């Protein structure tokens, strides 16, 4: 899955800074996107991801830093002079124009001959699988269809890069999942380099080759979805990519491939990490799906703890158990179809691999 | 009895409307009916009008080139004022939607304040500026741009300038509301598709703010063609517009049936003009076929 990109750099952002009044939104942001790649800016609202997108589009001016498209600086160019396509959060279709006129708008601005416009419009509507709605107005289409038209309108211009500004946030859950896959299909069909902005971790994972997690105007981590999920590095990134049980303790021993961490009465084992030293404080996270539960004590005594189930939460496909181990509460996820289901007040044993213990930096 | 009771009950929601409907019926619809009737009555120098129905008022009006010219001047003043107000007001309204905080508050208050100044004061101010040897003349003479008496005060130009100034705030407030309703993203999207600013304006802003343009245009045109006070103070009788003729036939010549006939003509002109304008703009922007998304 992790592809190696030895391709041309399409978008390069160097030392981007932006403030609105006294509030600094971007603090020296750097990013590079290569041809055909989908990179996601993932972060909470107010982290500067949309600002970055708008600066790349030319809709905002940066205070400092430079943007390169195919190696050429474009920071001084207005949006209409950059070969950049954008799908807006609320699609921004022109309500007074038919679907055909919407998609043809950019081509008409280029003064393309009308015969050729016709061909290009129908070609791209085939790609988004909506060839039969050309005469309709946007208000006569469903949300999902409007979005596909917004994609068609941006893609028909054959831009160097496509910018997506939270395009799924207006759709209900079911349609959102459908459109994620549809967008992925369209993206691969035309092999368009894409910069995608979202606050939804699942969207980011489904869509991207690389995810850049942003916080307070900076990229705090950029890597492939799997790598980030496997080793988030900091509590902020970890919490943004799903639920986890967070613990803090002290390193009591370091061996060649194992470190020992004492959290209250519990002694955890984790794979060794260069980030810790003996006697130091350390924060760790354990994903709820990485913990196994059983009635019987395992023979292997490492990372096995006895606890009592204090709550069971049914979520459909999965079940969530809250388990008290001494003073510490663990959340554990299980498929609800599994045979071994437990009740409140059952005494159980928790067990997890040492690879499941994620070592995090201690946030200040 | 029971049926009447149910009927009354089911129209209970209309009760709050009764005062307004009553006011309109008594003080607008009834006088309009009376005015319409009066325009078809025979003029009599002693009794003002006789209860004899006749078309002679309209025959007299449309048979005289002098009145045709008056219609033309009235419409010209109305159109020039409307175009001037929209052209000057649109950029200001746009600016108003783009600024924030104290600047916006001050601007809005400024426009509203100018509505508090009575039209009489505003117009007299302009009259002083326009007077022969008035401020404008003194200013222009100071720079040696003109010599001799300024022939400005009694012209259509002067009239239109004052009408534009007086009606500008209404248009700005209406236009700002409709510009505000167009999401910024629509303009950004057009720009990103390669549209230069003037095309964004022509292809996106104008069609999407058409409701505001139509309502302010209609309002300003109606106010301008029916304006009486401003022509009296600025141009007197040297620019003949329909409202002045109506006043003169009502109060000076006491020919009420003829004054009523001119009023009906003015009413029909504004009504038909407004309707045609609506039809044309609706057709141009395909209104009714689409909704805002």
Mean pLDDT value across residues A126-135: 92
User: Is the pLDDT assigned to residue B154 strictly greater than 90?
Assistant: no
Give the one of A79, A137, A157 whose C-beta lies nearest to B290's C-beta: A137
Phi, psi values for residue A222, rounded to 5°: -135, 125
Would you call A201 an interface residue with chain B, using a CB distance cutoff of 8 Å? no
Q: Which helix (H) or strand (E) holds A342?
A: none
Confidence of residue A328 (pLDDT cuts 50, 70, 90): very high
Distance in angstroms (rounded) separating the CA atoms of residues A295 and B37: 99
CB A246 within 8 A of CB A235: yes
Helix, strand or coil, per DSSP, at residue B10: helix
User: Is the pLDDT assigned to residue A362 strictly greater than 80?
Assistant: no
Residue B3 included in any domain: no
> What residues are paired with B287 via a beta bridge?
B290
| Helix axis angle, A114-127 to A173-190, nearest 10° | 130
Residue B30 included in any domain: no
- Please report the pLDDT score of residue B94 as a whole number: 94
Give the one of A59, A92, A154 whose C-beta lies nearest to B183's C-beta: A92
Contact between chains at A85 and B189 (C-beta distance less than 8 A): no
**What is the number of H-type helices and E-type strands within chain A?**
8, 20
- Please report the pLDDT score of residue A2 as a whole number: 52
Angle (CA) A14 A20 A23, round 5°: 95
What is the percent of chain B where pLDDT is above 90?
A: 64
CB B235 within 8 A of CB A125: no
Contact between chains at A139 and B293 (C-beta distance less than 8 A): yes
Would you call B100 an interface residue with chain A, using a CB distance cutoff of 8 Å? no
Confidence of residue B140 (pLDDT cuts 50, 70, 90): confident
Would you call B198 an interface residue with chain A, using a CB distance cutoff of 8 Å? no
Residue B21 included in any domain: no
Mean pLDDT value across residues B170-188: 93
Highest mean pLDDT: which range of A229-233, A269-273, A300-304, B218-222: B218-222
Structure tokens belonging to residue A59 = 């809709």
What is the percent of chain B where pLDDT is above 70?
A: 98
Distance in angstroms (rounded) separating the CA atoms of residues A249 and A286: 13
Q: What is the pTM of this model?
A: 0.83
Structure tokens belonging to residue B62 = 């449309």
pLDDT in tens, A29-80: 999 999 999 999 999 988 999 999 999 999 999 999 999 999 999 999 999 8
Distance in angstroms (rounded) separating the CA atoms of residues B231 and B73: 12
Structure tokens belonging to residue A2 = 């992790």
Helix, strand or coil, per DSSP, at residue A141: coil
Q: Which is more confidently placed, B238 or A331?
A: A331
Question: Residue A131 CB: number of other CB atoms within 10 A?
Answer: 13
Residue B143 included in any domain: yes
What mean pLDDT is reported for chain A? 90
Residue B65 included in any domain: no
Which position has the token pair 């705030």? Answer: B169
Rounded to a whole number of angstroms, the distance from the CA of B96 to the nearest CA of chain A is: 20
Helix, strand or coil, per DSSP, at residue B117: coil
Would you call A152 an interface residue with chain B, using a CB distance cutoff of 8 Å? no
Distance in angstroms (rounded) separating the CA atoms of residues A332 and A318: 10
Residue B64 included in any domain: no
Task: Report DSSP letters for A143-161, one per residue.
Answer: HHHHHHHHHHHHHTT--SE
User: Is the pLDDT assigned to residue A329 strictly greater than 60?
Assistant: yes
Confidence of residue B267 (pLDDT cuts 50, 70, 90): very high
Burial label for A88, CB within 10 Å (0-12, 13-18, 19+), is buried
CB B79 within 8 A of CB B277: no
Residue B16 included in any domain: no
Q: Which is more confidently placed, B238 or A152?
A: A152
pLDDT in tens, A69-127: 999 999 999 998 999 999 999 999 999 999 999 999 999 999 999 999 999 999 999 99
Cα A147 to Cα A50, A91, A138, A250, B17: the distances in Å are: 18, 6, 10, 51, 44
Phi, psi values for residue A341, rounded to 5°: -105, 145
Structure tokens belonging to residue B245 = 């003729």
- Please report the pLDDT score of residue B216 as a whole number: 95
Segments forming the whole domain that contains residue B217: 77-284
User: Is the pLDDT assigned to residue B120 strictly greater than 60?
Assistant: yes
**Chain B residue numbers touching A91 (CB-CB < 8 A):** 293
Residue B258 included in any domain: yes
**Chain A residue numbers touching B183 (CB-CB < 8 A):** 90, 92
Question: Residue A6 CB: number of other CB atoms within 10 A?
Answer: 7
Would you call A59 an interface residue with chain B, using a CB distance cutoff of 8 Å? yes
pLDDT in tens, B192-234: 999 999 999 999 999 999 999 999 999 999 999 999 999 998 8
Confidence of residue A1 (pLDDT cuts 50, 70, 90): very low
Structure tokens belonging to residue A222 = 């950029």
- Please report the pLDDT score of residue B53 as a whole number: 93
Confidence of residue A341 (pLDDT cuts 50, 70, 90): confident
Structure tokens belonging to residue A243 = 């639920």
Contact between chains at B188 and A59 (C-beta distance less than 8 A): yes
- According to DSSP, the β-strands at A210-215 and A357-360 are unpaired
- Structural domain count of chain B: 1
Confidence of residue A6 (pLDDT cuts 50, 70, 90): low
Q: What count of residues does chain B have?
A: 293
User: Is the pLDDT assigned to residue B25 strictly greater than 90?
Assistant: yes
Helix, strand or coil, per DSSP, at residue A182: helix
**Chain B residue numbers touching A146 (CB-CB < 8 A):** 293
Mean pLDDT value across residues A194-223: 92
Contact between chains at A139 and B285 (C-beta distance less than 8 A): no
Would you call A138 an interface residue with chain B, using a CB distance cutoff of 8 Å? yes
Q: Which helix (H) or strand (E) holds A42?
A: strand A38-42
**Chain A residue numbers touching B289 (CB-CB < 8 A):** 137
CATH number at residue B119: 1.10.3720.10
Distance in angstroms (rounded) separating the CA atoms of residues A56 and A72: 13
């Amino acid at each position: 899955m992790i592809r190696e990109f030895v391709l041309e750099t399409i978008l390069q952002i160097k030392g981007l800074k932006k403030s609105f009044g006294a509030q600094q939104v971007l603090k020296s942001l750097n990013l590079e996107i290569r041809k055909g790649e989908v990179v996601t800016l993932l972060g909470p609202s107010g982290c500067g991801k949309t600002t970055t997108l708008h600066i790349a589009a030319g809709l905002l001016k940066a205070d400092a830093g430079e943007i390169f498209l195919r190696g050429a600086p474009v920071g001084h160019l207005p949006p209409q002079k950059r070969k950049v396509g954008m799908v807006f959060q609320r699609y921004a279709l022109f309500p007074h124009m038919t679907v055909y006129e919407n998609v043809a708008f950019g081509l008409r601005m280029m003064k393309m001959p009308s015969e050729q416009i016709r061909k290009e419009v129908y070609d791209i509507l085939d790609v988004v699988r909506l060839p039969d709605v050309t005469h309709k107005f946007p208000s006569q289409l469903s949300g999902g269809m409007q979005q596909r038209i917004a994609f068609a309108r941006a893609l028909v211009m054959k831009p160097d890069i496509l910018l997506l500004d939270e395009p799924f946030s207006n759709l209900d859950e079911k349609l959102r999942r459908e459109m994620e896959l549809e967008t992925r299909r369209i993206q691969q069909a035309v092999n368009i380099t894409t910069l995608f902005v979202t606050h939804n971790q699942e969207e980011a994972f489904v869509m991207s080759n690389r995810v850049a997690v942003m916080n307070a105007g900076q990229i705090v981590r950029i890597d492939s979805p799997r790598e980030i999920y496997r080793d988030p590095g900091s509590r902020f990134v970890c919490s943004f990519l799903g639920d986890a049980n967070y613990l803090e303790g002290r390193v009591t021993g370091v061996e060649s491939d194992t470190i020992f961490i004492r959290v209250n009465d519990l002694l955890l084992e984790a794979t060794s990490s260069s980030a810790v030293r003996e006697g130091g404080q350390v924060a760790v996270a354990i994903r709820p799906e990485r913990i196994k539960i059983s009635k019987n004590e395992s023979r292997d005594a490492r990372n096995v703890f006895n606890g009592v189930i204090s709550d069971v939460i049914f979520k459909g496909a999965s079940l969530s158990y809250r388990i008290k181990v001494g003073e510490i509460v663990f959340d554990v996820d299980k498929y609800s179809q599994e045979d071994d289901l437990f009740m409140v007040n059952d005494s159980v044993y928790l067990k997890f691999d040492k690879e499941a213990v994620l070592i995090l930096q201690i946030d200040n | 009895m029971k049926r009447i009771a149910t009927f009354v009950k089911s129209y209970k929601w209309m009760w709050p409307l009764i005062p307004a409907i009553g006011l309109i019926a008594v003080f607008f619809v009834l006088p309009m009916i009376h005015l319409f009737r009066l325009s078809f009555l025979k003029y009599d120098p002693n009794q003002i009008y006789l209860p004899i129905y006749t078309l002679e008022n309209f025959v007299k009006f449309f048979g005289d080139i002098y009145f045709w010219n008056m219609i033309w001047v009235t419409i010209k003043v109305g159109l020039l004022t409307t175009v001037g107000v929209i052209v000057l007001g649109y950029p200001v309204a746009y600016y108003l939607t783009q600024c924030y905080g104290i600047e916006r508050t001050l601007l809005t208050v400024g426009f509203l304040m100018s509505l508090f100044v009575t039209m009489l004061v505003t117009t007299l101010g302009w009259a002083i500026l326009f007077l022969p040897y008035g401020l404008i003349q003194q200013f222009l003479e100071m720079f040696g741009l003109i010599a001799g008496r300024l022939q400005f005060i009694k012209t259509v130009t002067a009239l239109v300038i004052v009408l534009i100034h007086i009606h500008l705030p209404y248009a700005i407030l209406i236009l700002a509301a409709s510009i505000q309703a167009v999401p910024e993203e629509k303009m950004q999207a057009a720009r990103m598709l390669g549209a230069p600013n003037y095309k964004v304006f022509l292809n996106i802003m104008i069609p999407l703010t058409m409701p505001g343009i139509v309502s302010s245009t209609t309002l300003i045109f109606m106010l301008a063609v029916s304006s009486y006070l401003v022509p009296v103070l600025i141009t007197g009788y040297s620019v003949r517009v329909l409202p002045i003729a109506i006043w003169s036939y009502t109060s000076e010549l006491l020919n009420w049936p003829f004054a009523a006939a001119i009023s009906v003509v003015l009413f029909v002109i504004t009504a038909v003009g407004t309707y045609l304008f609506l039809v044309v703009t609706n057709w141009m922007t395909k209104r009714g076929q689409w909704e805002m998304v």
